[in-house]
Amino acid sequence: MQLNHTHDPAATSWVTSANAAGCDFPIQNLPLAVFRHYSGADDFRGGVAIGDQVIDLAQVSAADCLDGLAAQAAAACAQPSLNDFFAMGPAAWQALRHGLFALLKSGAEGAQVDALRSCLVPQITVAYTVPARIGDYTDFYTSIHHASNIGKLFRPDDLVTPNFRWLPIAYHGRVSSIGISGQKFRRPLGQVMAPGGSRPDFGPCTRLDYELELGIFIGQGNAHGEQIALDDAEQHVFGICLLNDWSARDIQFWEMAPLGPFLAKNFATTISPWIVTTEALAPYHQAWERPAADPQPLPYLASEHNRAEGALDIQLEVWLETAQQRAQGQAPSRLSHTSFKHQYWTVAQMVAHHTVGGCNLQPGDLLGSGTISGPTPAEAGALIELAEGGRKPVTLANGEQRGFLQDGDAVILKGWCEKPGCARIGFGQSRGEILPALQP
């Protein structure tokens, strides 16, 4: 995607909170969410973040702030899910972004700018919901560092399965338990087979974990029986959010063969409310490299464009806030920091592979990137890696230790993009909290 005036790092907004250093939502970002007043007194509708405000797109539509395709796009966002807007395609996504950018930039004036001022809602007064009716959710497994770290724990003779370097591995996940940041869920129950055991035990999971991932929202889909070519994939991706694929490791390792995870993954998945658009992310693409000694991708997963700029440099952090930290007013602890740029497969390759057999993606479908672990141990995207399967618990600043997650723990994911010559843009955060299990 070509850079344009909406990526200009010098651009500022009359919404002055958007110009603060370190702000996640400057005028160059303009991510989308679905929100309402936290009291629940009004209806969910689409919004765009600017600084510490939400632009109410239902109000934008009603107040005629925009014209033409941008106005049609805002109208499509004036409902409790963004699927219709996603289905309008890249021209409409860009029209809305560029229309709002023109009204929000410093020095903008006129009747439509005045009208837009009445469409701002403070973010501290709103609650969010899952921004689309997600038809299908597919979770990938595309970090070779994660695959290798897990392999060392469980398959010392076979670190990475033979298919890993040839295709972006995935399984079909569960939609009903996907929740927005703030989600609280009960520790799952399930079957666990002890090492060397002859019959499984049933009870609450004792090896509860998180997985740091990105969530990729599909914009326009493809017809059943057709494919999305690798170099067209970007036109089908609306944007990206943060995603925590909560994982019950003890349940997972008993149930997973031969068909993949089931109860280990289907009890909760937490996403961040704001979707950072493909256009906003354009400055942060970079070359994607496949080590020369590794298999090179098959033709449908290979292109010059994907090599030149298929990778995305998104900085990511995982934070843990324990019940003790909350109770004693202590700061959460940062567990790891990495970048999505290390991923073995790109977003475009995931989309191309998903559809190569004729599977139709639909507007609002969600793809999980798979756990994002970087090349060093400290960059691991799951606690099972950091704590080496629970054998070397992580020690927090207040002295607490974690081999796996405990009841009352909250896991917070953060993400942002930043580099010289470009505006910093952020993803906000995704927070999920563990409640005690129901007793069997």
Residues known to be catalytic: 146
Window contacting Ca ion (CB under 5 A); options: 68-76, 138-146, 266-274, 280-288 = 138-146
* Closest distance to Ca ion from the beta carbon of 261 (Å): 8
Q: Of residues 56, 139, 250, 309, which one binds Ca ion by CB under 5 A? A: 139
Helix (H, G, I), strand (E, B) or coil at 251: helix
Please report whether residue 400 would count as binding Ca ion according to CB under 5 A.
no
Q: Which is nearer to Ca ion, 47 or 190 (CB)?
A: 190
* Closest distance to Ca ion from the beta carbon of 141 (Å): 7
* Closest distance to Ca ion from the beta carbon of 146 (Å): 9
* Closest distance to Ca ion from the beta carbon of 325 (Å): 26
Q: Which is nearer to Ca ion, 143 or 346 (CB)?
A: 143
At 212, list the tokens: 């740091």
CA dist 356 and 299 (Å) reads: 12
Q: How many helices (H) and strands (E) does the chain have?
A: 12, 26
Q: Are 192 and 329 in contact (CB under 8 A)?
A: no
Measured from each CB, the residue nearest to Ca ion is 245
Stretch 235-254 residues interacting with Ca ion (CB under 5 A): 245
Find the helix or strand (DSSP H, E) in which 247 lies.
Answer: strand 247-248
Q: Which is nearer to Ca ion, 173 or 403 (CB)?
A: 173
CA distances from 331 to 16, 198, 324 (A): 28, 44, 10
Please report whether residue 211 would count as binding Ca ion according to CB under 5 A.
yes
CA dist 311 and 305 (Å) reads: 10
Name 410's bridge partners: 321, 433
Helix 68-76 with 90-104: angle, nearest 10 deg: 100
**Phi/psi of residue 232, each to 5°?**
-100, -5
Please report whether residue 209 would count as binding Ca ion according to CB under 5 A.
no
CA dist 31 and 24 (Å) reads: 10
Cβ contacts of residue 76 below 8 Å, gap of 6+? 82, 84, 85, 88, 92
* Closest distance to Ca ion from the beta carbon of 294 (Å): 22
At 439, list the tokens: 């007793």
Window contacting Ca ion (CB under 5 A); options: 211-219, 226-234, 274-282, 372-380 = 211-219
CA-based R_g, the chain, Å = 22
Q: Are 19 and 423 in contact (CB under 8 A)?
A: no
Q: Which is nearer to Ca ion, 153 or 323 (CB)?
A: 153
Window contacting Ca ion (CB under 5 A); options: 72-80, 203-211, 230-238, 430-438 = 203-211
Q: Are 41 and 31 in contact (CB under 8 A)?
A: no
Q: Which is nearer to Ca ion, 61 or 183 (CB)?
A: 183
Window contacting Ca ion (CB under 5 A); options: 123-131, 204-212, 332-340, 381-389 = 204-212
How many residues form the binding site for Ca ion (CB under 5 A)? 3
Say which amino acid occupies 114.
Answer: D
Q: Which is nearer to Ca ion, 139 or 321 (CB)?
A: 139
Stretch 162-201: interaction string toward Ca ion, x if CB under 5 A:
----------------------------------------
* Closest distance to Ca ion from the beta carbon of 329 (Å): 33
Which residues contribute to the site for Ca ion (CB under 5 A)?
Answer: 139, 211, 245
